[in-house]
Structure 1
């Protein structure tokens, strides 16, 4: 008979790459984890892992069983959660991904309040600016800044996100303040490397695409903001990164006669799963906490020229 604790031990070892690390993550002794995996192998009648003194690898049977084992554990967790939901409470695991910058600045407070409301939920949050395959990587939901084009996902808008051109007063004093797209073309730009190097603007004449000279390329919005506040160059950043700096005057908005291309914040979750009450509660909590318009749009004066 298959036991859930044996499946959980096997999946933990496969994901951790070692029995000792899996034991640490599970809070168990190494001998207990080894015994549970060995018992699972006896029940299945197959060796799932090849163990040497230097490394642990999965057999062909182990690779096949890993995906099914994850699914079994997930369904068992959802079953426990559904029973708890019927009793009027939300509980069990909830795995969420989000971008590093937005998560660092905003999600800590929002999700802490969510957990205070639903203390039985076991929340895991992974922050990463790389593309997350929500449907395949086992996440219940992901927060994204930008379009969600994956047909496997249901995307719920959280807030509109404006992007503003900003620079520190020290940079503008030294290099001057661009007042047109033409003048902006020669500026020293701090660019987000995970996105195209173009700056896109809309005006009465249609769309204009600029390819500014880069003085820094970086894949993190907070570092872009910090580089801009030191006077390194001009950055195009979402308002959720810079609302406090605009209010304090450490960054100023540049008016070049055109509006920068904006984006949307979304929360998305897999279409092929029934939407759990936990995900529904998470979406509602995010929307309520962010507000409409989002709280960072009314945090203070946005232009100090």
Structure 2
């Protein structure tokens, strides 16, 4: 079956005999509808995974490489032949034009980069097949953000529809209007699992590592510490000393000169002691392993 045929057949109604004899799907749909209300909403982590594309270098590098390698592939569509040798490539058919120009709003490259990026970041992709009814071929294919889609369970058809939510507006779709592909998710019946989920801890460590480095250099690479003084001082002396110390030393590369009776004790960990370079290498390995 060709890609277009798969696209058109993906959300057809279940065979009546299967719907009649199937006992598992109705239970799954009933439970999910009861837990989630009227629809299975996106996982809470979806948006955070989408943001890692812009905040974590290794996520961007891995996902963008996959996007580029797939999006730049040439499109080849063939009539289904009786034998492999009989196949005829289609170049001037509406089927071909749809895949070369999926919609009026984006290029072919951007379309495929968008759907592949969604699959790699969120574990699923949704495409709106713009057509009048389920028997018509799509006139356009518009990618939809996974974090804006809720799936409506149905006891008979498994999926009763989809709801696209944006800015307080809810747009309902019939099953035949949406093409949904999802990666395997062992703990969710409807939503895909992001490849980034397994490397979540490495991503968190990477973000904390970068933020720590930013703060370290922003403060003039001066280690945090504790200033101790022999004897007691009153509140006014404390405030004056705090102001003088801040003006002279915080955020600046200056040699610290302490008066007699004062002592500075470093309380922070230096980059070399924390093996900062090794930590980032470990983070990179963990993140890239998730991206593949």
TM-score, normalising length: structure 2 = 0.22
Structure of greater Rg = 2
TM-score, normalising length: structure 1 = 0.22
Name the structure where strand makes up a greater proportion of residues: 1
